[in-house]
Structure formats: structure tokens, C-alpha cells
Amino acid sequence: MIRQLLLVFSFGLICAFTAHADTRSLYTVMDIDVDESASSVIEAQRAGFAKARRIGVERMIERITLPSDRSQRAPIIVDDALAQRLVRAVDVQKETRGGGRYIATLSAVMNRQAVRAFLQGEQIDFVDIQAPAALLVPLARNRILGEWHAAWGEKNDGALVPYVTAQMAYERGLTWENVQGEVGSARARRGIVAELDGAEGAYTVRVSTLTASGETLLGTTRRVRTMDDAVQTVSRMMDNIWKEQSVVRSGVRTLSEASVLYTSLPEWNSLRAALARSPLVSDFQIKAIASDGAVVQFAYAGEIERLKSDLGQRGASLEVQPGMWTLRSAVSSAR
């Protein structure tokens, strides 16, 4: 038992480090292109960095807030003073300089505390906790599957809905059993299926999630011209769905207690992380722990069905009965 508790404690330290790494990734805006000219290269570079800070802040706000919330208020004007306050650093991805011209692709690293304080001061709801990692499974007709797969890149761990692109080729009609092995290898919690339809100039994508509980349709995108446009449209749709599911608009929280049942230490770690990382959960505490179960206490925001859905995406199944809540692995529950 002592060894188990030490392992649980070690896992807590690992989770804290991972959460910090995830937060930095989420709060870094990549691929900002600038092209500035001035009387000297130094001045051009300064102008390029200033532009990158402004664009970075604009994209960061768009990343963690909902379009519907932003549309209900006057547009936020991002000037140099605000950008200086919210951006911690500008990193160079690639650059070319000379003759008073500075051309570069830059990254803006945000100051998380400053961004959060700014949005709270502006009374704009935001979500800056990433969704559970997903295995992105591109599907399409055979002749364009390779091109569609390549459009997604290897991964996008800085997105609000982070993913790793599947390496194996899958066919339409796949189930959780088909992808479960690669989901585990990718250290993901679920699969996201992006099924491309149409032809160049008029692509649509049917998007769904796959978990041990089954398939859930998220929706079908509007028609777009290129595969790159389709990838961006799907990413925005997934991000907005996650924000709508996760944004907490009320300060009212319900205190609850649940029994957590597991068959191994890794399973316990997974269930504990599902609760601790949910944006709907706060004040998580372990009240008691044994080799096959634990009693935990936490507060949650919103409706219980919303909490069950969020935990389900993280591989956890929450059963709610009068006077007794039980959390177990969704994989174990599906057996």
C-alpha cells in the first residue's frame, strides 16, 4: 500500500509538469508571418516583433473565447501597449533580413496570468483547459486519402482540442475496437474521425468522436474549396464545440462525493486525471484510497449530464444513483 501511495504521489508530480507543458503550448501562438521594411534591419525587426505580438494576442483571444461571446460586445482593440502587457516573449521560427527589410515566421508566447486577468476584467468567458488528447483519423476515398491525411500534419498539441494524426489507414464504418490500439499508443483518450466528401472546390467533412461508449456525431462542415481550408474548418468547429461544452458561466458549484473503482494503478491514474483536468471540476480531493478503489470529493459546475459527457470523452464512465456516485473506466464498463 505504501508503494502504491508513493506511485500515486509521483504521478501527481508528473501530471503537474505535463499540465504546465500543455499550458505553455496552448498559450503559444505559432506561424505568425511578418514582412516589415524600415530605415534599418533593426528597426524592421522591431516592427515585425511588434506586429507579431499584436497578431498573437488577437489569435489567442479567438482561440479561448467563443465567437458568440465576442460578438455581444465592442471589438477589442489590440494596440502595442496591450500586446506588450499580454505577450511574454517572441520566438523566431525562421527569418530573412537585409536591406532594411525583415521577413520572418514568428511565435508569440503569452503571459497566461495576464491574459486571464485581462479577459476577466473585460467580463468575457474563456476556456483555457485543453480537451482530452485525440487520435485524428482522416477518412476519404482511396485516391485522395493520402492527400487528406497529409493535410493534417503529424500533430497539433497546441490546439484547444489537441490531436495526433493516425499512422494506420482506416476504412469507413470503423468502430472503437478498430482504433483502440492506436489511441492507446498515441496516449490519447478518444478518436476523432474526419470523413472527407466532395471534390476540389466543394469539400465537406463529417466529424464524429469514437470512445468505448460508441460514436457521437459532432456535425458536418460547410463546403470549402481546399483540403487545407477543410482542416482549418474542422479544427475551428472542434474548438468551438469544446468551448461551448466547457465554459463555466455560473459561480454556483455542487459539492459531490464518488467512489472510484479500478483494476490497476494506471487505471486509477487515468480516472483521477479525468476528474482533475475537467474544466467543470474544482476542489478535487482524495478522501480514502485502497488497492481497488478510492473515495473522492469534488465540486462541479453546470448540469450533471454535462459532467458525464465531459468525463466520457476522457475515458471515464460516471454512474449517478441516489446517494451513490460511481466512477470507473469506460473501457471496463463497455466489456
Q: Tens digit of pLDDT for each residue in 132-170? A: 889 999 999 888 999 999 999 999 988 899 999 999 989
pLDDT at 3: 38
Task: Write down the number of H helices and E strands in the chain.
Answer: 11, 14
- Is the backbone of residue 309 left (phi > 0), alpha (psi -120 to 50) or beta? alpha
Confidence of residue 324 (pLDDT cuts 50, 70, 90): confident
* Cross-strand bridge partners of residue 216: 209
Give pLDDT tens digits for 86-131.
Answer: 999 999 999 999 999 999 999 999 999 999 999 999 989 999 988 8
Angle made by CA atoms 298, 190, 140, in degrees to the nearest 5 = 155
Does the pLDDT of residue 6 top 70, yes or no?
no
Centroid of chain to Cα 159: 5
Mean pLDDT of the 57-72 span: 93
Q: Say which range, 3-17, 237-251, 294-308, has the weakest mean pLDDT.
A: 3-17
pLDDT above 70 for 8: no
Is there a contact between 53 and 90 (Cβ–Cβ < 8 Å)? yes
Mean pLDDT of 160-187: 92
Q: What pLDDT does residue 44 have?
A: 97
Listed in sequence order, the residues at least 6 apart from 290 whose beta carbon sits closer than 8 Å to its beta carbon are: 1
- DSSP assignments along 21-71, one per residue: HHHHHHTEEEEEEEEEE-SSHHHHHHHHHHHHHHHHHHHHHHHHS-HHHHH
Q: What b/e string do you get for 208-237 counting C-beta neighbours within 10 Å, with b at 16 or more?
A: bbbbbbeeeebeebeebeebeebbebbbbb
- Domains annotated on the chain, with CATH: 28-121 (3.10.28), 134-246 (3.30.160), 253-334 (3.30.70)
| Cα of 11 vs its chain's centroid, Å | 21
d(C-alpha 320, C-alpha 301), whole Å: 16
pLDDT digits (tens, 9 = 90+) for 220-277: 999 999 999 999 999 999 999 999 888 877 667 888 999 999 999 988 988 998 888 8
pTM of the predicted protein model = 0.74
Do the beta carbons of residue 243 and residue 66 sit within 8 Å? yes
In degrees and rounded to multiples of 5, residue 139 shows phi and psi of -125, 145
Over residues 303-323, mean pLDDT: 85
Q: Are 143 and 62 in contact (CB under 8 A)?
A: no
The answer to whether 321 and 304 are in contact (CB under 8 A) is no
> Which of 54, 105, 119 lies closest to 82 in space, CA to CA?
54
Instruction: Evaluate the CA torsion angle 174, 180, 183, 188 in order and state its sign.
Output: positive
Q: Where are the beta strands (DSSP E) in the chain?
A: 28-37, 87-98, 101-110, 134-139, 155-156, 163-165, 190-199, 202-211, 214-220, 253-261, 281-289, 293-301, 316-321, 324-329
Q: How confident is the model at residue 331 (pLDDT cuts 50, 70, 90)?
A: low
First to last CA, the chain: 28
pLDDT digits (tens, 9 = 90+) for 12-53: 433 433 443 456 789 999 999 999 999 999 999 999 999 999
- Looking from the CA of 271 toward its CB, the CA atoms found within 13 Å total 28
Label residue 332 by pLDDT band (50, 70, 90). low
Largest CA distance in the chain: 74
pLDDT of residue 143: 81
**The 281-289 sheet, strands edge to edge:** 281-289, 293-301, 253-261, 324-329, 316-321
What span, in angstroms and rounded, lies between the C-alpha atoms of 10 and 128? 25
